Amino acid sequence: MGIAPSTRPGRPPMPSMLPPPPDPFLSDANYETGTANPRLRHDPGAGAWRSRPITAGAVAQRTAIQAVLGVPTMVYPGINATRHMQHYLNNTGRDYEIDLEDMIASVPTAKRAMIAEFRQAQRFISALPNGTHYFTSRSGESAYNYKGESADWFFAIGGYTYWGKGMAKISAGTIGRRFEVDFEYHFYDRYNWDGGKKVTIGGIEVTDEFMGEFHRQGLAREFDCHGKIERHFTWEGAATPGEEAILKKPGR
């Protein structure tokens, strides 16, 4: 049995006792290397699908709303809110791919969220060594589409979760290190009816409780919304992408 190294007060520990230096790629609060998406959660919504018997009144109300949504001059507040409502009333429960580019272009808060997410990723990438690396958010963050910014996206989505991920190729450049980054901005929300909202459709005030009853009777079905924006960036040294480049849709 060997002799343990001395740990007397005032004497520095032997090299073998020192903890390993922190890994800068694992110490970032927002990002880490890897490809996994963060764990996602959502509120309970209207409850269990088909948990109540169907009523003739609900069937008639659903038919009336569908008819109004099909009118080009309908008063529901925007094309995306209409599409999401129609998908709900179609009663499939299938995942829905939102027009995330339009949401980012239309909602100032959504613009700021996307820019902030890329800046977090950029700070993490700048600490990586030369080579090819996959990176991903440690957790999702939350944002909200306020009615005063866009009534369309307020009723289409409201609150949501977002995160970033991608791949970075880092090499020696002419004025510093060269970064080639494929960045993905991801979105998730559950289209459900959990209280606190109301809207007028065809002159009728419609509340979350009212719309959630269609789900409970099995006449409509809540669903998951997903979205993704892809950007490719190249820069050297400190010449990083500006806000316009982050927001610019490819091909524009």
DSSP 66-102: HHHHTSTT--SS-HHHHHHHHHHHTT----EE--HHH
Mean pLDDT of 25-32: 82
What's the chain's length in residues?
252
Of 3-12, 57-66, 78-87, 112-121, which has the strongest mean pLDDT? 112-121
Tokens linked to 11: 């004497």
Cα–Cα dist 131/133, whole Å: 7
Q: What is the pLDDT of residue 252?
A: 62
Q: How confident is the model at residue 41 (pLDDT cuts 50, 70, 90)?
A: confident
Q: How confident is the model at residue 201 (pLDDT cuts 50, 70, 90)?
A: low
Q: What is the pLDDT of residue 21?
A: 47
Tokens linked to 64: 């009336």
Q: What is the pLDDT of residue 27?
A: 65
Question: ∠ CA 177-182-187 to the nearest 5 degrees?
Answer: 135
Of the chain, the percentage scoring pLDDT greater than 90 comes to: 70
What letters, b where the CB count within 10 A reaches 16 and e where it falls short, cover 78-111? bebbbbbbebbbebeeeebebebebbbebbeebb
Q: Does the structure show a pLDDT above 50 at 17?
A: no
Q: Are strands 223-236 and 96-97 parallel, antiparallel or unpaired?
A: parallel
Tell me which amino acid residue 182 is.
D
Q: What is the pLDDT of residue 6?
A: 39
225: helix, coil or strand?
strand
Matching residue, tokens 């606190």: 196
* 14 or 28, higher pLDDT: 28
Q: What is the pLDDT of residue 71?
A: 73
Beta pairing partners, 200: 205
Q: Does the structure show a pLDDT above 60 at 20?
A: no
Beta pairing partners, 188: 161, 226
* 39 or 205, higher pLDDT: 39
Q: What is the dihedral of CA 134, 35, 100, 69, to 10 degrees?
A: 170
Beta pairing partners, 133: 168
Instruction: Give which of 62, 52, 79 is closest to 220, Cα–Cα.
Output: 62
Q: How far is CA 7 from the centre of its chain?
A: 50
* 5 or 19, higher pLDDT: 19
Q: Does the structure show a pLDDT above 60 at 15?
A: no
* 252 or 9, higher pLDDT: 252
Mean pLDDT of 52-78: 84
Q: How confident is the model at residue 9 (pLDDT cuts 50, 70, 90)?
A: very low
Q: Does the structure show a pLDDT above 50 at 147?
A: yes
Q: What is the pLDDT of residue 251?
A: 77
Q: What is the pLDDT of residue 206?
A: 77
DSSP-derived letter for residue 233 is: E
Q: What is the pLDDT of residue 68?
A: 82
Cα–Cα dist 193/210, whole Å: 9
DSSP result, 98-148: --HHHHHHH-HHHHHHHHHHHHHHHHHHHTSPSEEEEEEESS-EEEE--TT
Q: Does the structure show a pLDDT above 70 at 4?
A: no
